[in-house]
Amino acid sequence: MMDLVFAVAGGFTLGCLHALDVDHVAAVTAFASKHPSARRATWFGVYWGLGHTATLIILGGLSLALKFAIPPAVSSAAELLVGFLLISIGAWVLRGFFRGRRIHLHRHTHDGVEHVHFHSHADGGDHRHLHSMFFVGAAHGFAGTAAVMVLIPITITQSLGFALIYLILFGIGTMSAMGLFAYLLGNMTQRAGSEKILAVVQAAAGSLSLIIGVLWLGERFLEL
């Protein structure tokens, strides 16, 4: 019974904490910065979590069922991919910023109440961007599966059922925490009400992703 309790509580809690790793936050922040809407930003966080969870459950489940450990070379290659993705995402956001594809604010009054709407040149690519966010989350899950497996207590790994419950709750935790983070970020940018502030947020998010990607790769190359 205690194994089940730990699988539920421990998996969900550690999943929430894992979602807020700096590389995860940088990627989602960069995507969300191009869409100043709490609803859209939340979907970016959720899709990232779905990609991360899908990879984790598939690879982790196979590892548990077949009793094999993910080779360090595979994990290292996946981590390098994450670094390149962060650099690419940062460059993409900054490219849009410098080319003038920024967020525009439109105000109008209806029945005496002022309404504020935001328009981004990236608005038409929401569906495509959600798929991209799923892929980024999957890459993060691929890179972090080996580390997550270490977090599963030995007593739980002796039961495939409890271990899978742990992984599923871990995934739900990552989706919940990242969705909440993205919502708060989107809500903050939506309430800013200033194109200049939104432009600063977008430039900062792109720069953050780019810098973290470079540092991430540098650290991994030093470990090789």
H-run or E-run covering 104: strand 103-110
* 55 vs 195 pLDDT, higher one: 55
Q: How confident is the model at residue 206 (pLDDT cuts 50, 70, 90)?
A: very high
103: helix, strand or coil: strand
Sole residue written with tokens 């969705």? 179
Q: Tens digits of per-residue pLDDT, 114-165? A: 444 555 555 445 556 788 899 999 999 999 888 888 777 665 667 788 888 8
pLDDT at 193: 63
Instruction: Provide the pLDDT for residue 6.
Output: 64
Q: How many CB atoms lie within 10 A of CB 60?
A: 25
Task: State mean pLDDT over 171-197.
Answer: 86
Say what angle helices 126-151 and 72-98 make with each other, to 10 degrees.
Answer: 150
Q: Where are the domains of the chain?
A: 2-223
pLDDT(108) > 50: no
Helix (H) or strand (E) holding 109: strand 103-110
- What span, in angstroms and rounded, lies between the C-alpha atoms of 129 and 122? 9
Query: Which tokens belong to 90?
Result: 């940062």
What burial class does residue 132 get, using C-beta atoms within 10 Å of its C-beta: 0-12 exposed, 13-18 middle, 19+ buried?
buried
With bands split at pLDDT 50, 70 and 90, how would you rate the model's confidence at 18? very high
Mean pLDDT of the chain, nearest integer: 82
Q: What is the pLDDT of residue 112?
A: 52
**Given pLDDT bands bounded at 50, 70 and 90, which one contains residue 178?**
very high
Candidate from 110-119, 139-148, 169-178, 198-207 with smallest mean pLDDT: 110-119
